[in-house]
Amino acid sequence: MPSPPQQRGIIVSKLYSEVDIYAEAERLYGVIQQRERWTIDMCKTIAPLTLEINDLKKKNDVFIIAHSYQTPDIIYGVADEVSDSYSLSKAARDASQQTILFSSVRFMAETAKIVSPHKTVLHPSPDAGCSLSDGINGQDVRNLKERYPNIPVACYINTTAEVKAECDVCVTSSNYLTICEKLPGEKLIFVPDKFMGKHLQKSLEGKKEVIVYDGECEVHAVFTGEKIRSWRERMNQQGIELTVLSHPECDIDVLEESDIVGSSEALIKNALQLSANGKKDIMLITECGTAERIIAESENDLNLIGACVMCRHMKKTQLEDILQALKNPMPEQIIEIDKNIIDKARMSLEEMFRLAE
Ligand code: 13P
Ligand code: SF4
């Protein structure tokens, strides 16, 4: 009879004294910087978890990587590295630790394994997918290559290892325009994000033909240019000049209405710079984690306007899952990829590092 599945999210720890817990709660309260939602009492409830995770991390020499869309308790409580998909894939490649725990969606943890196959990569939430990476498989790319032979294939990093293995080069939100421009020939296939594909078609117009797949990010697809225009008008009527920052997974009408377009990390850096320069009225057209990092990291006055959208996949991971995966990982929390796929997928990532630098 198969053994019952182990449960996630029910670890109770009695390892720490009241004094340790209070000191950790104060640290968390100070770094998270959201005094109404993350009160000192709330921080006290998570302090035993962050203490134990940080102790285990040191003891077992584990490097914890978190994407910016993870929740603040993970980002400021336990992560060693927080950034966008490009920087995190480099951090995974360059980490000296033998074990990486990747707090994010599955394709990012898979990417860490591809760039450092000799390391153990733990992924606490095996069912945390992504509408882009789940919307295409290796056969879809093979079909495109058959239909359009001898054309370079660029794939967004938001894809499975199997899809990366079929591509010539990988790209991220911070380098897709420059890398695709550098590819040889007058045509290219771009998968799977149709919106990024549309930006590529526009920016490479007259230089290259871009054949685009039909995927989309369910979070960024929600935003519209019309909403930005109406917010701008309303703000203008009050004498407020809005600066709009968008992620390139949004549709082209959104990007055309935006002042700055960039990866999650680029948006955070730009917003912090804007607020430091006194331009405090900022509209963020992206996932909510970006705003949470800006709130935590800004030392200046900020007025974040409009609503963000939450990625249900990114928010699946909790501190309990990280602790459980560190203590006793289930087989599905340890990334395993066929060697043949790793070897091919690594070539597309190495090509990205080469062309991006
Ligand atoms: P970044 O490259 O900006 O981290 O984007 C990854 C992602 O999934 C955004 O939705
Ligand atoms: Fe995927 Fe969109 Fe979530 Fe990013 S925000 S992980 S692209 S579904």
Mean pLDDT of 305-321: 96
Q: Does the pLDDT of residue 13 top 80, yes or no?
A: no
- The residues lining ligand 1, judged by C-beta closer than 6 Å to any ligand atom, are 84-86, 158, 172-173, 217, 249, 263-264, 287
Nearest CA to ligand 2 atom 7: 217
Nearest CA to ligand 2 atom 6: 130
Across the beta sheet with 153-156, what order do the strands follow?
A: 169-171, 153-156, 187-191, 209-212
Strands 99-103 and 120-122: parallel
The whole-number pLDDT of residue 165 equals 98
Kindly identify the ligand whose nearest atom is closest to the C-alpha of 130.
2
Contacts of 343 (CB under 8 A, 6+ apart): none
Q: How confident is the model at residue 329 (pLDDT cuts 50, 70, 90)?
A: very high
pLDDT tens string 23-79: 999 999 999 988 889 999 999 999 999 999 999 999 999 999 999 999 999 999 999
Q: In which band, very low, low, confident or very high, does the pLDDT at 8 lie, cut at 50, 70 and 90?
A: low
If you measure from the C-alpha of residue 173 to the centroid of ligand 1, how many angstroms do you get, rounded to a whole number? Answer: 6
What is the pLDDT at residue 12?
Answer: 54
What is the tens place of the pLDDT at every residue in 270-282?
999 999 999 999 9
Round to whole Å and give the CA distance between 247 and 295: 18
Please provide residue 167's backbone torsions phi and psi, each rounded to the nearest 5 degrees: -105, 165
pLDDT of amino acid 9: 47
Please report, in angstroms and rounded to a whole number, the separation of the first and last CA atoms in the chain: 53
Q: Does domain 133-217 have CATH number 3.40.50.10800?
A: yes
Judge contact between 280 and 301, C-beta under 8 A: yes
Does the CB atom of residue 221 touch ligand 2 within 6 A?
Answer: no
pLDDT(188) > 50: yes
**pLDDT at 11 exceeding the cut of 70:** no
Write out pLDDT tens, residues 109-164.
Answer: 999 999 999 999 999 999 999 999 999 999 999 999 999 999 999 999 999 999 99
Q: Rounded distance, CA 254 to CA 242, Å?
A: 14
- Any atom of ligand 2 within 6 Å of the Cβ of 342: no
Packing angle of the helix pair 85-94, 264-276 (nearest 10 deg): 110
pLDDT interval class at 357 (50, 70, 90): confident
Q: What number does the ligand 1 atom closest to the CA of 105 have? A: 8
Distances (CA, A) of 119 to 101, 122, 275: 10, 10, 40
Q: What are phi and psi of 263, to 5 degrees?
A: -65, 170
Distance (Å, whole) CA 329 – CA 101:
11
State mean pLDDT over 206-222. 98
Q: What is the CA radius of gyration of the chain?
A: 21
Is domain 220-305 classified as CATH 1.10.1740.10?
A: no
Report the amino acid identity of residue 261.
Answer: V
For the cut 60, the answer to whether the pLDDT of residue 7 exceeds it is no
Q: Does residue 106 contact residue 320 with C-beta atoms inside 8 Å?
A: no
- 81-83/99-103 β-pairing: unpaired
The rounded Å distance from CA 44 to ligand 1 centre is 31
In the chain, list all ranges with CATH 3.40.50.10800. Answer: 18-127+314-333, 133-217, 220-305
How is the chain split among helix, strand and coil, in percent rounded to 5? 50, 15, 35
Kindly tell me if the per-residue pLDDT of 6 is higher than 70.
no
Question: How far is it, in rounded angstroms, from Cα 295 to Cα 33?
Answer: 7
Half-sphere exposure of 50 (CA within 13 A, CB side): 25
Percent of the chain with pLDDT over 70: 96
Number of Cβ within 10 Å of residue 60's Cβ equals: 14
Burial label for 15, CB within 10 Å (0-12, 13-18, 19+), is exposed
Over 70: is that where the pLDDT of 289 sits?
yes
Token pair in block for residue 55: 């102790």
Alpha-carbon distance of 32 to 293, in angstroms, equals 8
The hierarchical CATH code for the domain 18-127+314-333 is 3.40.50.10800
pLDDT for the residue numbered 337: 98
3-class DSSP state of 63: strand
Whether ligand 2 lies within 6 angstroms of the CB of 105 is answered as: yes
Q: Are 259 and 245 in contact (CB under 8 A)?
A: yes
**Residues 29, 30, 36, 41, Cα dihedral to 10°:** 20
